[in-house]
């Protein structure tokens, strides 16, 4: 039963018409079902399952039956059995007829040759090997072509909505159980207890939702940045909005926040504050990359001393320091940090797993009791129905 309602939930949050989606080829798809497995297979969730294997086996068997029904109805026969989450993403077509969709701030572009959607990404070593652009910068045509593949240098997050967060909180099994108790007590002269319980549940749901809302609001604020950069393009310096940056652009490094990951290719010294990413309070010095650009020898971890990461702040720098953009958008250090936050899965406690089985048992017993009560009352059908419910 739980799995069946989960099947409904996978479709419902996106749109009403997504309930009627059916499988088709990637070249014709209007929506794409993205499955994101939980990263750590030895997480607390799995360990907890082993500890309560007898209860969990019953829960899994029942869930699989209803999940199979939901998968048949929605044609999700290829749904993997691994632990993870589903999201239905809408496919968009831009002015250049490129088909793409966004998932966790990352752009996936349809590749006609492979016949599937692939992440829009250019390897940083490929960018650094293009030394012919270091003196003149990318041309306008090259910038447009790369922007078609990668999209804009942004990390778009939906603005948090308190009402949606509250509804999501109230849809948890714990609140289903509590609300049914309240509903049952009101007509049975327990209205005073029902009122107290309703107040406690309401305050609890509002409090938890408010803290979730504040957290999501902080994350959204962290992802929203505005500013301009000086870029070497067609052999001349020009000022552009930071969202137009693409890998390979040669930018002048100035004091202020870094809008993308870049490697220092000229100049002597840059002083950075990386506390936003690493928590390190002391400023860190960065120097020019001295490696062989054509030998594919660059690595962001190994060459941290030569790399400026998105989200860090340039404290001091000379006017003649330039860097080449290596990563933009969600592929930057800041983007990866935000994606880690978005993909975080709350630890599953014993209560979270067992409450679903308890609800199933109570629901089954409730059906039996309903038939017994309606038969014993022998009153009118309307009264029997409401009293039985």
Give pLDDT, residue 348: 62
The closest of 89, 111, 113, 119 to 101, measured between CA atoms, is 89
Instruction: Report CA-CA distances (Å) from 300 to 166, 263, 297, 325.
Output: 41, 9, 10, 12
Contact by Cβ (8 Å): 186, 194: yes
The closest of 87, 93, 117, 100 to 15, measured between CA atoms, is 87
Give pLDDT, residue 10: 46
Q: Is 207 a residue whose pLDDT tops 90?
A: yes
Give pLDDT, residue 78: 60
Q: Which residue matches tokens 């070497």? A: 232
**How large is the average pLDDT for residues 329-347?**
80
Q: For residue 138, give the DSSP letter.
A: B
How many Cβ atoms are within 10 Å of 72's Cβ, its own excluded?
Answer: 11
**How large is the average pLDDT for residues 14-35?**
72
Q: Is 120 a residue whose pLDDT tops 70?
A: yes
> Which has more confidence, 372 or 78?
372
Q: Is 17 a residue whose pLDDT tops 60?
A: no
Give pLDDT, residue 13: 43
For 219-248, what is each residue's pLDDT tens digit?
A: 888 888 888 899 998 888 889 999 899 998
How many Cβ atoms are within 10 Å of 66's Cβ, its own excluded?
Answer: 17
For 174-198, what is each residue's pLDDT tens digit?
A: 887 788 778 777 776 778 888 888 8
Phi, psi of 20 (to 5 degrees): -110, 20
Give pLDDT, residue 44: 44
Contact by Cβ (8 Å): 311, 333: yes
Q: Which residue matches tokens 């038939």? A: 371
Contact by Cβ (8 Å): 86, 14: no
Cα–Cα distance between 291 and 353 in angstroms, integer? 53
Give pLDDT, residue 42: 44
Task: Say if strands 322-327 and 31-37 run parallel, antiparallel, or are unpaired.
Answer: unpaired
Out of 314-318, 319-323, 383-387, pick the least confident: 383-387
Give pLDDT, residue 279: 76
Residues in a beta bridge with 322: 252, 266
Most distant CA pair in the chain: distance in Å? 92
Q: Is 14 a residue whose pLDDT tops 50?
A: no
């Amino acid at each position: 039963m739980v799995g069946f309602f989960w099947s409904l939930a996978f479709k419902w949050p996106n749109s009403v018409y997504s309930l009627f989606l059916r499988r088709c080829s990637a070249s014709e798809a209007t929506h794409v079902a993205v499955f994101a497995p939980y990263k750590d297979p030895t997480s607390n969730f799995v360990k907890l399952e082993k500890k309560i294997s007898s209860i969990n086996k019953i829960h899994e068997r029942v869930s699989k039956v209803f999940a199979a029904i939901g998968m048949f109805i929605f044609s999700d026969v290829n749904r993997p059995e691994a632990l993870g989450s589903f999201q239905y993403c809408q496919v968009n077509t831009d002015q250049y007829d490129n088909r793409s969709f966004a998932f966790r701030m990352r752009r996936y572009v349809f590749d006609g040759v492979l016949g599937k959607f692939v992440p829009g990404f250019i390897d940083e070593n490929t960018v650094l090997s293009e030394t012919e652009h270091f003196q003149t910068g990318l041309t306008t045509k090259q910038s447009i072509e790369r922007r078609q593949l990668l999209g804009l240098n942004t990390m778009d997050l939906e603005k948090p909505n308190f009402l949606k967060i509250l509804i999501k909180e109230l849809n948890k099994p714990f609140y289903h159980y509590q609300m049914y108790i309240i509903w049952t007590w009101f007509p049975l002269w327990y209205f005073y207890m029902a009122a107290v319980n309703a107040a406690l549940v309401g305050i609890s749901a509002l409090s938890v939702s408010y803290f979730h809302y504040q957290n999501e609001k902080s994350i959204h604020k962290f992802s929203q940045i505005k500013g301009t950069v000086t870029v070497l393009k067609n052999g001349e310096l020009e000022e552009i909005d930071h969202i137009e940056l693409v890998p390979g652009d040669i930018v002048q490094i100035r004091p202020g926040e870094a809008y993308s990951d870049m490697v220092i290719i000229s100049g002597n010294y840059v002083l950075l504050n990386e506390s936003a990413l690493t928590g390190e309070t002391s400023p860190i010095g960065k120097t020019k990359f001295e490696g062989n650009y054509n030998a594919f020898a660059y690595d962001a971890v190994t060459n941290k001393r030569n790399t400026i990461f998105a989200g860090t702040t340039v404290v001091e720098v000379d006017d003649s320091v330039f860097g080449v953009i290596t990563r933009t958008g969600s592929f930057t250090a800041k983007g990866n940090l935000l994606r880690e936050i978005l993909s975080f899965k709350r630890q599953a406690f014993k209560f979270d797993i067992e409450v679903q089985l308890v609800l199933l048992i109570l629901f089954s017993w409730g059906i039996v009791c309903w038939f017994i009560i309606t038969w014993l009352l022998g009153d009118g059908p309307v009264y029997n129905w409401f009293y039985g419910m």
